[in-house]
Homo-oligomer: A and B are copies of this chain.
Amino acid sequence: MFKKSVEILDTTLRDGSQGANISFTLNDKIKIALMLDELGVDYIEGGWPGSNPKDEEFFKEIKKYSLSKAKIAAFGSTKRKDLSIYDDPSLNSIIKADVDVAVLFGKSWSLHVTDVLKVSKEENLDIVYDSIAYLKSHGLKVIFDAEHFYQGFKEDPDYALSVVKAAESAGADVITLADTNGGTPPFEIYEITKKVRETLHVKIGIHAHNDIGCAVANSLMAVKAGARHVQGTINGIGERTGNADLIQIIPTLILKMNLNVLNGYQSLKKLREVSRLVYEILGIPPNPYQPYVGDNAFAHKAGVHVDAVMKVPRAYEHIDPSLVGNDRKFVISELSGTANLVSYLQKLGIIVDKKDERLRKALNKIKELEAKGYSFDVGPASAILIALKELGYYENYINLEYWKVINENSGLSIGIVKVNSQLEVAEGVGPVNAIDKALRMALQRVFPEISNVKLIDYRVILPGEIKNTESVVRVTIEFTDGKINWRTEGVSKSVIEASVMALIDGLDYYLQLKKRLKVLDNIYSM
């Protein structure tokens, strides 16, 4: 038996770009479009050709590439009330964009018809009908987006239905119900979509926004009610609180609802990578809590939990993380036992027995430090360094003999370090930056690979009581070499000292890692 299919329209490049602080270059748009095609999406909404020149360029440029599956769609509004369809700039710019598919939005909430558009309800029906028929007569596939449909239906169901009926009779290929202000709860989405499903014969779509935190669920509820076309964006980027996140919707449609979506399991495996790439293009740090693909999506913290998940994964995980290109992660903390540490070490190619006495010693040290304000689920790399030392796998690459910071109101920040007998001085934009620079100057000659290491997060927290700035501070730093990320920490009464400790640990961890990987590579190549 064939499974039911649901088609996916990605509007990252159009509705997604409406989000605050979101801006794509033409190059970015091409990059994302090619990636979406590879992912297997059915439609890529590339932009609104009438609204800005960058979008028009995109439609020209993308023609130079041969896409394997995705159809490029151009967005636009129904015709203006005072113009004939033949003279309407929005409709004609869609035609000029020379695409196969048009996504046309029109009014379906009577309040918008009479108070915003300021035409009669009948006139709006004509506008919708004529605009669609015009595009159809030019051979385009037409997806009609009924703006504010759910709101409109709740206030004036007959009129809302008459709009989508007009769209159907004009030949629209898909009619998408849009929850434009994102305020409709999931049970209403289900009921209303179901009614439309019973009224129309054409394929129905859903376009959800996240204003009440339900965009993902609302998309699923619409599909449950019979929608077979879902619109959304990668990572849910979009205006206000964003659009429905396709990265979260797609796996549920495939894995939980058993529907035929994109290229099935093959597409799922790419989800995390696609999500990351869009974050990277936007310069936004990935959301570690993002369902399915986030760094913490399969992170286990409680000790008992960790033991159990290793024995019966499905007892604690709703899916196998590798299905969506993600990994199980164990968090090291005072709550957890040796199992977490063992699994971290395994990734470095170090196999240790859970009951190894050295491991227990390492864990005791970790617990002692946690009592002093460390929190190793926040900076696990610092905990692994302790374990490596206890296990005898640690090599001493960085010997920090002295450091000093001078900082004053002129803006001057000077960092002095003596590392491995070498004295260096550097000026920075702040004391931590100055020390970081001096450290790298001292280390890069011997360890040039350190130049790959970048800091991507820096946090300061007071883990304990504060007594007039005498409190202990915990600094956490996240590092990356472009491929993997790691977090370290330092605890001290001085924010500078804590920062220096976390910096040193971060560079040290990378050097230990590099050595381990070399060992691993040797083993693999034998």
- Interfacial residues, chain A to chain B (CB-CB below 8 A): 18-21, 23, 25, 27, 51-52, 109, 111-112, 115-116, 148, 151, 180-183, 185-187, 190, 210-214, 216-218, 220-221, 224, 236, 239-242, 245, 248-249, 251-252, 256-257, 282-283, 288-292, 294-302, 308, 311-312, 314-319, 331, 334-335, 375, 377-378, 400, 402-409, 411, 413, 428-433, 436, 454-466, 468-471, 473, 476, 492-497, 499-500, 503
On chain B, the residues within 8 Å of A248 by CB distance are 212-213
The 6 closest A-B pairs by CB, nearest first: A183-B318, A217-B217, A430-B494, A460-B460, A213-B248, A404-B408
Specify which of B115, B290, B499 is in contact with A312 (CB 8 Å cutoff).
Answer: B115
On chain B, the residues within 8 Å of A404 by CB distance are 406-409
Q: Chain B CB within 10 Å — which of A115, A185, A251 has the most? A: A185
Specify which of B245, B288, B402 is in contact with A408 (CB 8 Å cutoff).
Answer: B402
A-B contact pairs, 18 of them (CB 8 A): A18-B301, A18-B302, A111-B315, A185-B224, A186-B186, A187-B220, A212-B216, A239-B301, A242-B289, A405-B406, A407-B496, A430-B473, A430-B492, A432-B469, A455-B469, A459-B460, A459-B461, A495-B499
Could you tell me the distance in whole angstroms from the C-beta of A514 to the nearest C-beta in chain B? 19
- Is the Cβ of B187 less than 8 Å from the Cβ of A221? yes
Specify which of B182, B240, B257, B316 is in contact with A296 (CB 8 Å cutoff).
Answer: B240
* Known A318-B211, A402-B408, A459-B460: A433·B298 in contact at CB below 8 Å: no
On chain B, the residues within 8 Å of A251 by CB distance are 212
Assembled-state Cα–Cα distance A360/B282 (Å): 30
Specify which of B20, B151, B181 is in contact with A331 (CB 8 Å cutoff).
Answer: B20
On chain B, the residues within 8 Å of A300 by CB distance are 239-240
Q: Chain B CB within 10 Å — which of A186, A403, A473 has the most? A: A186
Further pairs besides A20-B301, A185-B224: 16, Cβ < 8 Å: A19-B301, A25-B462, A25-B465, A27-B464, A181-B316, A187-B224, A213-B248, A242-B289, A283-B459, A402-B408, A405-B431, A407-B431, A431-B495, A432-B495, A457-B462, A495-B495
* Chain copies in the assembled complex: 2
- Is the Cβ of B375 less than 8 Å from the Cβ of A23? yes
* Known A454-B468, A496-B430: A256·B23 in contact at CB below 8 Å: no
- Is the Cβ of A25 less than 8 Å from the Cβ of B468? no
Could you tell me the distance in whole angstroms from the C-beta of A480 to the nearest C-beta in chain B? 11
Q: Chain B CB within 10 Å — which of A217, A460, A466 has the most? A: A217
* Known A319-B183, A429-B470, A436-B468: A23·B460 in contact at CB below 8 Å: no
Could you tell me the distance in whole angstroms from the C-beta of A89 to the nearest C-beta in chain B? 14
On chain B, the residues within 8 Å of A432 by CB distance are 469, 495
* Known A465-B283, A466-B456: A23·B378 in contact at CB below 8 Å: yes
On chain B, the residues within 8 Å of A283 by CB distance are 459-461, 465
- Is the Cβ of B52 less than 8 Å from the Cβ of A334? yes
Return the chain B residue nearest A414 by Cβ. B406
On chain B, the residues within 8 Å of A458 by CB distance are 462, 466, 469, 471, 473
Could you tell me the distance in whole angstroms from the C-beta of A472 to the nearest C-beta in chain B? 9
Assembled-state Cα–Cα distance A120/B245 (Å): 42
On chain B, the residues within 8 Å of A282 by CB distance are 461
Assembled-state Cα–Cα distance A493/B429 (Å): 6
On chain B, the residues within 8 Å of A463 by CB distance are 23, 25
- Is the Cβ of A407 less than 8 Å from the Cβ of B212? no
Assembled-state Cα–Cα distance A182/B292 (Å): 11
Q: Chain B CB within 10 Å — which of A187, A290, A334 has the most? A: A187
On chain B, the residues within 8 Å of A315 by CB distance are 109, 111-112, 115-116, 148
- Is the Cβ of B296 less than 8 Å from the Cβ of A19? yes
On chain B, the residues within 8 Å of A308 by CB distance are 116
Could you tell me the distance in whole angstroms from the C-beta of A126 to the nearest C-beta in chain B? 22
- Is the Cβ of B459 less than 8 Å from the Cβ of A466? no
Q: Chain B CB within 10 Å — which of A212, A299, A429 has the most? A: A212
Return the chain B residue nearest A180 by Cβ. B316
Specify which of B213, B331, B459 is in contact with A217 (CB 8 Å cutoff).
Answer: B213
Assembled-state Cα–Cα distance A218/B180 (Å): 21
Assembled-state Cα–Cα distance A66/B461 (Å): 29
On chain B, the residues within 8 Å of A433 by CB distance are 468-470, 493
On chain B, the residues within 8 Å of A460 by CB distance are 283, 459-461, 473, 495
